[in-house]
Structures are given as C-alpha cells and as structure tokens.
Amino acid sequence: MKRILIVGLVILVTAGLLIAILLFVANRKTNNSEQNVENAPVVEEEKVEPFPDDLDRDGILDVEEEKLGTSNKEFDTDGDGLSDKIEIEVLGTDPTNPDTDGDGFADGYEVLKGFNPKGEGNI
C-alpha cells in the first residue's frame, strides 16, 4: 500500500514539474515577442515614384520622347515588339514605324528571326 502511494506521489510531482516547465517556456516566448514589438523601430512610409521622368519605363526620358515623337506612355511606340530605346540606341530603326525597311515584316519579327530590320540580309 505504501508502495502505491509513493509511486502515485512521484507521478503527481513529476507531472506537476512538467506542467510548470511547459507554462514557464510558453510564458517566456510570449514575453519575448511582446518585447520585440515594443522595441521595433518605427518606419515611416514614403511614396516614391521609381521613374518620375520616364512614365513608360523604356529608358528614354519623357522630354526626349517628345522631341523624338515617340510615346511616353508606351515603351514600344510602334508596337513592333522592340522597345523605343533598343530601336534608337542599338538597331538604328524607326521607333514610330513598325516596319522600318518597308518589306512587310515588323522590325521585331525580323530581329527575332535574325534578319536586318533596316534592309536586306541578316543582322
């Protein structure tokens, strides 16, 4: 009989200690997360326009597009699949004409297939 009481008492004490440890750990995690929120720096949001002078984000400033006759709302004014900047700075094609050489194929298609968009032959 004494043996059963001692075993029961040991089980109760062990269970009590286990519950106390679990509650301590859970409470500690809660306190740490509250402290982190309280100590976190306050960040003020600032609205920034990433491309204030280039609405269509084609790499050509809106002022320059007005001079060139290209659209500041479309990165590909003529819709041929090439950006205005690529047509002007790399290929030398007309960014306002989808078929610079007039052969019936759009400049973007010709470049994609390896042909010269400014005339006969390959690039």
Tell which of 43, 58, 76 closes a domain. Answer: 43
72, 66 contact by CB (below 8 A): yes
Instruction: Evaluate if residue 52 carries a pLDDT over 90.
Output: no
Q: Tell me what pLDDT residue 14 has.
A: 94
The residue segments making up the domain with residue 38 are 1-43
- 66 and 35 in one domain? no
Residues 6+ apart with CB under 8 A from 70: 60, 77, 84, 95, 96
Domain count for the chain: 2
Q: Across the strands, what pairs with 115?
A: 122
Write the DSSP string, 89-112. Answer: III---TT-S-TT-SSS-HHHHHH
Instruction: Evaluate if residue 5 carries a pLDDT over 90.
Output: no
Query: Residue 100 corresponds to which tokens in the numbers above?
Result: 């610079």
**Confidence label for 35 from pLDDT (cuts 50, 70 and 90):** low
Mean pLDDT across 19-45? 73
How far apart, in whole angstroms, are the C-alpha atoms of residue 8 and residue 102? 98
Percentage with pLDDT > 90 across the chain? 55
Neighbouring C-alpha atoms within 13 Å toward the C-beta of 13: 6
